[in-house]
A and B are shown apart, each in its own frame.
Chain A
Amino acid sequence: MQTANVNRLTPYLFMAPALIVMAVALMYPIGYMIYASFLNWNPSQRIGEAEWVGFSNYINLLQDDAFRESLWVTLKFAAIVVTLEMIIGVGLALLLDRNIRGMSVLRTIFILPMMIAPIVVGLMWRYMYHPTVGIFNRTLKSLGLEPIPWLSDGSWAFTSVIIADIWQWTPFIFILSLAALQSLPRSALEASRIDGATPWQQVIYIKLPLMMPVLIVTLLLRLIDAFKVLEVILVMTNGGPGLSTEILSLRINRTAAEFRELGEAAAMSNYLLILLLLLTVAMYLYNKAVEARAARLRAAAGGDA
Chain B
Amino acid sequence: MPQIVFDQVEKSYGSVRVLPPLDLSLNDGEFTVLVGPSGCGKSTTLRILAGLETLSGGEIFFDGAPIGALEPKERDIAMVFQDYALYPHMNIAKNMSFALRLQKAPKSEITEKVQRVADMLNIGHLLDRKPAELSGGQRQRVAMGRALVRDAGTFLFDEPLSNLDAKLRGKMRTELAEMRDTIDKNMVYVTHDQVEAMTLGDRIVVMNEGTIQQQGSPEELFKSPVNMFVAGFIGSPTMNFMDGALQQAESGLSVTGDGYTLPLTAEDAARLHNATSRDVVVGLRPSSFERNASLPGQVALKVVVAEYLGAQSVLVTHCGQQELLVEMQSAAPLKAGTTETFGIRTDEIMIFDKASGLRL
Q: Please report A residues at the B interface, Cβ cutoff 8 Å.
A: 185, 187-188, 190-197, 201, 205-206, 209-210, 212, 294, 297-298, 300-301, 304-305
Contacts and interface: CB of A to CB of B under 8 A. Distances in A.
A301 B79 contact: no
Interface of B: 50-52, 71-73, 77-79, 81-89, 98-99, 102-103, 129-130, 132-136, 138, 146, 150
B105 to A, nearest CB: 11
B81 A191 contact: yes
Contacts, number: 77
Contacts of B146: 191, 195
Contact of B87 (A192, A193, A201): A192
A188 B133 CA distance: 17
Nearest to B137: A305
B79 A191 contact: yes
B299 to A, nearest CB: 49
**Most chain-A CB neighbours within 10 Å: which of B50, B78, B88?**
B88
A269 to B, nearest CB: 40
Contacts of B134: 301, 304
Lowest 9 A-B CB distances belong to which pairs?
A196-B73, A187-B85, A195-B99, A305-B135, A300-B133, A191-B85, A297-B132, A209-B89, A194-B72
Q: Which of B51, B71, B82, B89 has the most CB of A within 10 A?
A: B89
Contacts of B84: 187
Contacts of A212: 89
A194 B50 contact: yes
A188 B73 CA distance: 15
A297 B132 CA distance: 6
A109 to B, nearest CB: 25
B68 to A, nearest CB: 16
A297 B72 CA distance: 32
B83 to A, nearest CB: 5
Nearest to A209: B89
A196 B81 contact: no
Contacts of B88: 185, 188, 210
A200 B62 CA distance: 28
Contacts of A188: 85-88
Contact of A185 (B72, B85, B130): B85
